[in-house]
Amino acid sequence: MIREGYTFGLPLLALGAIAFLLRWNLPGVLLLALALFVFSFFRDPQRAVTADAGAVVSPADGRIVVVTDEENHGKPGKRISIFLAIWNVHVNRAPASGSITRLDYRAGKFFAAMRQRASLENEQNVIHLRTDVGEMVFKQIAGWIARRVVCWKKAGDTVARGERIGLIRFGSRVDVWLPREAEIQVTPGENVKGGSSVLAVWKHADAPAKSQAQDSARSTLIGAGRGI
C-alpha cells in the first residue's frame, strides 16, 4: 500500500474506533467499512515486468475502452484508452523505459472517464516520454469521481519500464499515444494490468541492442518504488 492510503485511511479507522467506544455502532461500522475501502483502493501490488525488447506495457489496471487512429502534432499514430473502475489498482506505471521530456498539467472538467471527451477536456497530466525508438505520450486523466491526478516524477527524470510514476484518485482514465509503426497488441474490452500487460510492441531494427539488457536489469528493481 502506498503512503496516501495511511493518510486517508488511518483517520477514518480512528474515528470508527471512537464511535464504537461511544457505542455509536452504526457510524462505527460505516467508518470502518470506509477505512477498509480506502486501504484497498491505495493497494500497490508487485508486478512482473517483461524484459522483451520493444514491449510497451500498460500504465494502469483497467479495461481497454478505445483503440483508435489519432495524430499527435501532425504525426500519425494510435491512441489506447484505459478506463479504471473504482475497484482497480490506481497506481500508475511507466509504459516504457526512457526520459521524461515534458510534463504538462492541464486543468479541466470532470466528465465521466468512460466518455470520449474526457481525453481532451478533463483535468490531466500529459507526460512526454523519449525512448530508444522515439517519443510516446501518455496521460493521467481525472474522472467524474477522481478529482486529483498525481505524478511523482518531473521533466528530466529517467524511468524504467513498469516503474511507479503516480496515481489517480477514485476512478479515472489513462491514455497512451504511440506512432503508427508500433504494433498494437490489445483490443477494446480487454482487461489489463499495470506494468505487466503488453499494449504494443514498438521497436526498430536499428534500436540499440543494449536496451533489452538494461530493461532486464532495471525491471528487477521496480518492486521497491513508492510502496511501504
Please say if 216 is a catalytic residue: no
Distance (Å, rounded) from C-alpha 199 to C-alpha 55?
A: 8
Other C-beta atoms lying within 10 Å of the C-beta of residue 98: 22
Distance (Å, rounded) from C-alpha 202 to C-alpha 83?
A: 23
Are β-strands 98-106 and 158-159 bridged in parallel, bridged antiparallel, or unpaired?
antiparallel
SS3 221: coil
Distance (Å, rounded) from C-alpha 83 to C-alpha 30?
A: 28
Of 97, 119, 172, 219, the active-site residue reads 172
Residues labelled catalytic: 172
